[in-house]
């Protein structure tokens, strides 16, 4: 089995993220150690449909680490309910805190999806 090589989130701000040394404008979704663009631009845009790729990942994801923007805020109830119904935990915090937390959890081998709204 190949050891995991999760990407690192090296920097955030300015409307995007530097992931493993590569600048990625816009919001970021990391599933199964694969960074990808995420269409969500604000907490107000967040819907259960925004997590379709997370739901499709099945056992590759234990929980979702959600960066909600500049300040911590409660995600919309439909999002919380959909994740719970799928058996996925949800941790939410400011995007800055979530980016730092992702790096720690990924280095520990946790199977998580990071959904980070760009700031």
Q: Is residue 17 part of a domain?
A: no
If one counts the domains in the chain, the total is 1
Q: Is residue 21 part of a domain?
A: no
Cβ atoms 68, 95 nearer than 8 A: yes
Q: How far apart are CA 119 and CA 112, in angstroms?
A: 21
Q: Is residue 76 part of a domain?
A: yes
Q: Tell me the pLDDT tens digit for each residue of 88-119.
A: 999 999 999 999 999 999 999 999 999 999 99
Q: Is residue 98 part of a domain?
A: yes
pTM for this one?
0.95
Domain span at residue 49 reads: 26-116
User: What CATH number is attached to the domain comprising 83?
Assistant: 3.40.1230.10
Q: Is residue 11 part of a domain?
A: no
pLDDT category, 5, cuts 50, 70, 90?
A: confident
Q: How far apart are CA 57 and CA 45, in angstroms?
A: 22
Q: Tell me the pLDDT tens digit for each residue of 51-80.
A: 999 999 988 899 999 999 999 999 999 999
């Amino acid at each position: 089995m190949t050891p995991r090589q999760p990407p690192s989130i090296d920097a955030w701000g300015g409307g995007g993220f530097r992931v493993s040394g590569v600048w990625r404008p816009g919001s970021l979704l990391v599933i199964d150690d694969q960074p990808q663009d995420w269409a969500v631009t604000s907490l107000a845009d967040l819907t259960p449909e925004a997590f379709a790729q997370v739901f499709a990942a099945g056992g590759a994801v234990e929980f979702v680490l959600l960066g909600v923007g500049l300040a911590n805020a409660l995600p919309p109830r439909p999002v919380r309910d959909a994740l719970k119904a799928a058996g996925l935990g949800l941790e939410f915090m400011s995007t800055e805190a979530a980016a730092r937390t992702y790096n720690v959890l990924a280095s520990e081998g946790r199977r998580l999806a990071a959904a980070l709204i760009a700031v």
